[in-house]
Amino acid sequence: MNPAFRTIALIGKYKGPEIAESLMALAAFLKSRGIDVLVEEGTAALVGDNGFPVASYDSIGARADLAVVLGGDGSMLTAARQLAEAGVPLVGVNQGRLGFMTDLARDDMLDGVADLLEGKFKSEQRILLEATVRRGDAVAFQTLALNDVVVNKGDLGRMIEFAVSIDGEFIYNQRSDGLIIATPTGSTAYALSANGPILHPAVPGIALVPLCPHALSNRPITVSDDSSIEIVLHAPHRARVHADGQEKFDIEAGDHVSVARSERSIRFLHPLGYSYFAMLREKLLWSETPRRY
């Protein structure tokens, strides 16, 4: 057994009581292998703890050597932001739909975790974005994102207008429904549905993908992940900033939204047979034979 994993935290899908059976089966399996198990407090409130210690994200960050997330990509996004500062590595068990970040199938969960405990895994670092909203001289909002930071029209039924600068250089004024700023991880999420590029996780880039731009010349672009991106909302518009589709903040005309690579990162552990391109073939159905009509 890998001595690095002495304490493992289990985190379940938000409002997903259906994961209870899998989670408790995994907890019992880990206990039988001599592993100390922590159940995240929100998960325990939903599915029960069955006598296993309950822990907050802060406690998991301080005590756990690994976190196993049972759910979909949304569950992984939440856990990643919560545990980024502590640097706890993540493993995903797919209980959702597409599951771009959850490698282990539910039916193969115990075998996959057994391999992890034996040191049979691949480690991969994924970048995070840090988004800051400044209103005047004050910081009004700050958060992390693993997938993307999105500035959009919020509840409004009309386009918004804003200026985009990169590393202090003005790039363009844009009139659109908004702008997606995506990491390579997030390039297969919202950005993909907006015709953005797919970035391999090893590509040191950040994608800027317009949402329904008024000018067809506004195209997706990819910039260095060392870049600092700034968006200034023009009057009289109001808009909203989203982080991973889970956190939000309403912004006003004149607010400055700054997005840059965070000093923190997330470490994913994959099975030895993991292939990014095989994952894309499966999730995006690239290997299917074209239909004849």
What residues contact 55, with CB distance under 8 A and at least 6 apart? Answer: 9, 38, 39, 40, 41, 63, 64
Q: Confidence class of residue 46 from pLDDT cuts 50, 70 and 90?
A: confident
66-71 and 90-94: which strand pairing?
A: parallel
Query: Average pLDDT, whole number, for the chain?
Result: 92
**What's the average model confidence in pLDDT over 251-275?**
95
- pLDDT tens readout for residues 50-86: 889 999 999 999 999 999 999 889 999 999 999 999 9
The predicted pLDDT at position 147 comes to 98
First to last CA, the chain: 54
Q: Are strands 256-270 and 228-233 parallel, antiparallel or unpaired?
A: antiparallel
Cβ 76 vs Cβ 70: under 8 Å: no
Number of H helices, E strands in the chain: 7, 18
- pLDDT score, position 97: 67
Q: Are 181 and 258 in contact (CB under 8 A)?
A: no
Summarised one tens digit per residue, pLDDT across range 144-185 is 999 999 999 988 778 999 999 999 999 999 999 999 999 999
Structure tokens at 106: 């539910």
The whole-number pLDDT of residue 16 equals 64
Report pLDDT for 196: 97
pLDDT of the residue at 7 = 97
How does residue 273 score in pLDDT terms, banded at 50, 70 and 90? confident
pLDDT at 15 over 80: no
Task: Report d(CA 293, CA 288) in Å as an integer.
Answer: 15
- pTM, two decimals, is 0.93
Which residues, in sequence order, are CB contacts of 238 under 8 Å at separation 6+? 154, 156, 160, 250, 251, 252, 253
**pLDDT on residue 1:** 59
CATH numbers and ranges of domains, the chain: 7-121+271-283 (3.40.50.10330), 128-263 (2.60.200.30)
Write the CA distances from 156 to 129, 163, 292, integer angstroms.
26, 19, 42
pLDDT at 287: 76
Task: Judge whether residue 130 has pLDDT over 80.
Answer: yes
pLDDT above 80: residue 2: no
Which residues are part of the catalytic machinery?
Answer: 73
Q: Which two tokens stand for residue 157?
A: 């039924």
